[in-house]
Structure 1
């Protein structure tokens, strides 16, 4: 049977309550859980400031005039403190008969009469409650009631807290605790006193520390109920300035500042009987936002749906107010939030529960005077004061989300790697609302420092990052592209290509060291493929640097960047797969296994070689050359270049091409790029469905007809939601997970079609099985056919 040492309680309290504001939060929350009728009061009654106390103690040791010392101490007592505390402090000092006793009595009075009191007018506690609940650390009564509410499907949780450890918050603030409480049915005040210093005895066991409630004086009125937590022997130097700062920032954000001031839970702060203002946030600052996103995450018929609304109000250049709505059903959420090989199961998309959020973005340099706030400087200060995206559960703050040093949505980290609009956390005022009953899997860590790391917490973070980091940022850049000249930044793509090249080189070097003679031909072929690719990538980078900064050329360069990155990835993957396979070969069975393996390696190497060579017509210098070529042959070549990939992913490709060549006059590289992009996207989405449906048979169908030249491209994957039919062609729009999210491919593909006077559309006919859109149609003008 375990026994617990007394000091374990102190260790537990110091670990679980990590800051003063957390301590206040826990004690205040207990007041609301007690069904307080008039909110919670927090009263600082500081008779003698700590600085004055230390100064007087130093003087006592060197001054022998006892009467003068007593008079000085009394003159230093705050006249604003409560009359009773001031009177009792003075009486204690009067008992001194020597400077030595004065020093001791001063210390005793300082510890006893400087207090912090947290009081409520709730249900109160009986003597039995104090014994059976308050003195039981980790009591289960509230947790049982919360779990019962969850089982019943109640809309609200009966309690904010349920772990039974909030009472340890008091030891964070002071060494002594006095509880004064009573229920309506009680006739007397029930008392409990705890001296936490007694728990420091390293040899004492917990059951050896005597702590017992007792009956006190009669209640002030027969129907009175409530609780006062009185903390003394304070551990911190509490001053009026510090309390005001705490009220200005921490207490102001303890409950939801977006809520109407009249509906917010009442928390009153007092310094020596003077009420300290806890500010509320004016809606005027929200109205001054330059852009914003609001989102609703719902579980409808056990299926999640995310709806986001974006607004661009004033981005710093001439543009109309732009609005956009994005709706993602479960198929798109699985792709954007979890992806093909995500770290969590799809079920977390539903078990996370419904929540809402809003984030208001500000260009701080463009903030101007607001009548209800003040001049530009005042407005900036208000924006800075309320900045951060806060998390609230049942109207109360979840720490530490939204703190100055907390970048929980990684906005600052992402901003450092971006040009153009940088969405720093200090530029936002926002909130996320969850609840205990609607989001039972989003639970706090025991130390109150954030949510526990669960699959549901992962979903919450990824959805918020997707909506705020990616979609709002992309929406703003899209507006800028429409109304202001904007360059496409390829630095990220170029950096990825260089890393992939390095990976391939490293793998090939290791391959050469461990490959037997019969495999040298394949390795040399792979090395030659790497050389050809490196040469092309080098030329592409040089050409990118030379091209003038015009919109058309920027788009072309983005296309080249995407294609180079795709092939670089294939090259690195093939090289590393070869290295892994060879490294795993052991024993005397190497020759037979090598023959089979090298046949596979050579096939993959040839495929990658085809992918490199097909890039040549995609080069910036070559894409603008119009030529006559067979479009059906170009489709076959593109499909053959992906043959190994299709085999690897078990994708069946059906071609419905004309028996006679369909010759067109066009820029071959641009049309190949359209085909390549459609194949690349299709492979990804087919993988998504295959991963989730083991019996699924992936298919791609490509058809071609004349009069005018029209290519149809269709797969039987997840499809695209009808409401996103046009969104997918916008620059930077992507529903892939954050590791693969680019959002340029279809934009460039449509641009290539329009360059030829043609169109690239997503057919509006819904697939009867999925209810979504699956068929792309590339149509060239009739004059393009030769």
Structure 2
């Protein structure tokens, strides 16, 4: 039998450009990072990212640098060649001016712009050249023009003008942006991430990123907190350096560290600093036992353990977000400080002062700090109160710590495992050093904590007593007997059912809330019997509407406008009584309505619980303002937002004092700062949103397009798309 062999070319369809652009890079910020990284490689001293006419049909993003630019030959041979080795392997070299080791080594970074825009214009002028170059790519038109990628053609213009003030540089103009609607939150998040490309702890005087907009969006950009002055007042601070021993004959690497404990002077706790007097060996125990094996591992860090990793430097700043401590340090800037911590928390990694993504992002906990805290809360610092930076040398670490093609972290190899374990061990060292100081802070705070009232407050029996005193037994006794029966039954079920009863507890809370309102009426000098009757009947209705918690609840088609309207009617008497200004642009059709299919009764109860909190805290704020002689009108806002979050949302905001606890605390059951409160309102609301596949979030008011007067508590009920 004879065989024949033939050879064939491997071809790629043009559509692969679209796939690579969309899938290669995971976010807008990483796409811009790729362009900024190229500017760094080109010895740029400044990169300008400008947002033009956002949220208009002609919106653009322009990224311009003053680097050495590109010749026509570089554009043809490098920029238009996917997967080029121009900066990789033997071609990797240091830049001429600043001796920078190039970050780009995959040859696919320019495809990242497809994540941001469907049309790109590249303008560039090489240093020393008289002419500039320009090319324009409309991705959809280009991909449709030819079937195979090797047949695609791009027109390259030579322009007899200098397009750059310094006679060199590169400008990338992005049109037909993939993001059509830029919300305040989305823009601020992107600006924050662009600014974090640089290492804020060790600024590079020869590389700066400027971010601006050509219209009112500049105000949004200016709101992003960039100041690191807050860090110097953090409660616990730790800096370290790990390096190979200078003495070639030594086996062990050296570890230098410095610790500072910085309590507010008002606490009476002494400040403390500690450091090692000279570089010492780092005891790591069995840290590398699994990697090196029983026979080879060493309990001290060795020089060879740093091969392909190099020098590691780091800084950790840890805060205690207790309002008492923050007020001592920062006065009236507590909210700004908490927002700064929230925006910057996590441990980031930098190589040659340029960010390595996605380490330190809100969803990333590469050191497992939160997991440790959950397991032993008192012994560990959580990610949410820790701001840190780990610094690496690109030249020393590049062969071992290899970035993934999608720019989302390092490849999981042995050098990375060593690096990760080592940094975690250093953080544990820091926690141990701070242990006694943490105990001192906790002891101080225990003295300042008020004794909380525990229990359900006024009961049905107390109601009966008051009704008797007011001679209202005849009118209210039949209604109250029915309430008492259902109330007692629900209480007994909750107490006797353990953790299962926790969900029933939210139902109990609903009833308790209504009873408190009735109590308030009975305590007044002139009791309106008809109004009390209405509230008791309303209580019976609530008991009936809460039955879905005890049995399966059916969903019904409704809309944001409808549920807000019902919630408003349920609380209108209370708005009038407390003189609260209620505003709802969704009811006046200034905000867009949206529909959903959910258990409507539960959703209305959730909104009513949030309104209940808002009424309580705006009333509290009103009492405070009266004492200082200022004018204040309590106000509650309920609107909609269809663009800021992952799905359409109902926004509930007020002008009270705002939240002073972390979101994780707020949604826990039986956690409250309301005198006599049960701590189930937000837990119930969070439970309902989770039940329907949505989320309860606590966004920053300034990130939303709501009136500035609503600067207190803000809650977003985000519905599934």
TM-score relative to the length of structure 2:
0.52
Q: Is the 8 A contact 2:347 2:390 kept in 1?
A: yes
1:352 aligns with 2:309: yes
Distance 2:441 2:211 in 1: 50
2:608 aligns with: none
1:181 deviation in Å? Answer: 1.4
1:459 aligns with: 418
CA-to-aligned-CA distance 1:735-761 (integer Å, 9 cap, x gap): xxxxxxxxxxxxxxxxxxxxxxxxxxx
1:124 deviation in Å? Answer: 1.6
Q: Is the 8 A contact 2:86 2:92 kept in 1?
A: no
Helix, strand or coil at the partner of 2:313: strand
2:555 aligns with: none
1:407 aligns with 2:368: no
Match for 1:34 among 42, 57, 77? 42
Q: Is the 8 A contact 1:399 1:449 kept in 2?
A: yes
The aligned length equals 420
Q: Is the 8 A contact 2:44 2:207 kept in 1?
A: no
Q: For the structure 1 residues 484 and 230, does the alpha-carbon distance in structure 2 shift closer, same or farther, using more than 3 Å as the test?
A: closer
1:321 aligns with: 271
1:246 aligns with: 189
Q: Is the 8 A contact 1:304 1:350 kept in 2?
A: no
- Within a 5 Å distance, the mapping from 1:634-713 to structure 2 comes to none
Q: Is the 8 A contact 2:41 2:100 kept in 1?
A: no
Distance 1:274 1:245 in 2: 10
Q: For the structure 1 residues 460 and 280, does the alpha-carbon distance in structure 2 shift closer, same or farther, using more than 3 Å as the test?
A: farther
1:392 aligns with: 350
Distance 2:179 2:379 in 1: 43
Q: For the structure 1 residues 214 and 263, does the alpha-carbon distance in structure 2 shift closer, same or farther, using more than 3 Å as the test?
A: closer
1:215 aligns with: 158
Distance 2:110 2:290 in 1: 46
1:308 aligns with: 257
1:244 deviation in Å? Answer: 4.2
- Within a 5 Å distance, the mapping from 1:444-523 to structure 2 comes to 444-468=403-427, 470-479=428-437
Helix, strand or coil at the partner of 2:61: strand
1:413 deviation in Å? Answer: 0.5
1:443 aligns with: 402
Q: Is the 8 A contact 1:442 1:457 kept in 2?
A: yes
**Structure with the largest fraction of helix:** 1
Q: Is the 8 A contact 1:368 1:376 kept in 2?
A: yes
> Highest CA radius of gyration, 1 or 2?
1
Match for 2:381 among 420, 423, 439? 423
1:416 deviation in Å? Answer: 0.5
2:526 aligns with: none
2:103 aligns with: 160
1:289 aligns with: 234
Distance 2:22 2:67 in 1: 28
Q: For the structure 1 residues 261 and 375, does the alpha-carbon distance in structure 2 shift closer, same or farther, using more than 3 Å as the test?
A: farther
Match for 2:85 among 137, 140, 158? 140
Distance 1:444 1:380 in 2: 32
Distance 1:411 1:304 in 2: 25
Q: For the structure 1 residues 478 and 247, does the alpha-carbon distance in structure 2 shift closer, same or farther, using more than 3 Å as the test?
A: same
CA-to-aligned-CA distance 1:30-53 (integer Å, 9 cap, x gap): 12222224x112222237x35xxx
Helix, strand or coil at the partner of 1:412: helix
- Within a 5 Å distance, the mapping from 1:544-623 to structure 2 comes to none
1:130 aligns with 2:75: yes
Q: For the structure 1 residues 224 and 402, does the alpha-carbon distance in structure 2 shift closer, same or farther, using more than 3 Å as the test?
A: same
Helix, strand or coil at the partner of 1:423: coil
Structure 1 gaps, min length 5: 51-109, 487-786
1:314 deviation in Å? Answer: 3.1
Helix, strand or coil at the partner of 1:176: strand
How much is the aligned-residue C-alpha RMSD, in angstroms? 3.7
Distance 1:483 1:223 in 2: 55
Distance 1:419 1:188 in 2: 63
Helix, strand or coil at the partner of 1:437: helix
1:320 deviation in Å? Answer: 3.2
1:44 aligns with 2:3: no
Distance 1:308 1:177 in 2: 48
1:445 deviation in Å? Answer: 1.0
Q: Is the 8 A contact 1:174 1:235 kept in 2?
A: yes
Helix, strand or coil at the partner of 2:78: helix
Helix, strand or coil at the partner of 1:24: helix
Q: Is the 8 A contact 1:294 1:310 kept in 2?
A: yes
Q: For the structure 1 residues 272 and 129, does the alpha-carbon distance in structure 2 shift closer, same or farther, using more than 3 Å as the test?
A: farther
Q: Is the 8 A contact 2:256 2:280 kept in 1?
A: no
Match for 2:17 among 9, 17, 24? 9
Q: For the structure 1 residues 481 and 199, does the alpha-carbon distance in structure 2 shift closer, same or farther, using more than 3 Å as the test?
A: same
Helix, strand or coil at the partner of 1:460: helix
Distance 1:264 1:362 in 2: 30
1:401 deviation in Å? Answer: 1.0
CA-to-aligned-CA distance 1:460-483 (integer Å, 9 cap, x gap): 211221121x22222233456799
Distance 1:409 1:449 in 2: 16
1:775 aligns with: none
Structure 2 gaps, min length 5: 1-8, 445-721
- Within a 5 Å distance, the mapping from 1:192-203 to structure 2 comes to 192-198=135-141, 200-201=143-144
CA-to-aligned-CA distance 1:90-135 (integer Å, 9 cap, x gap): xxxxxxxxxxxxxxxxxxxx4xx43222112222222211111110
Distance 1:242 1:271 in 2: 18
CA-to-aligned-CA distance 1:757-786 (integer Å, 9 cap, x gap): xxxxxxxxxxxxxxxxxxxxxxxxxxxxxx
Distance 2:405 2:431 in 1: 35
1:13 deviation in Å? Answer: 2.3
Distance 2:201 2:138 in 1: 40
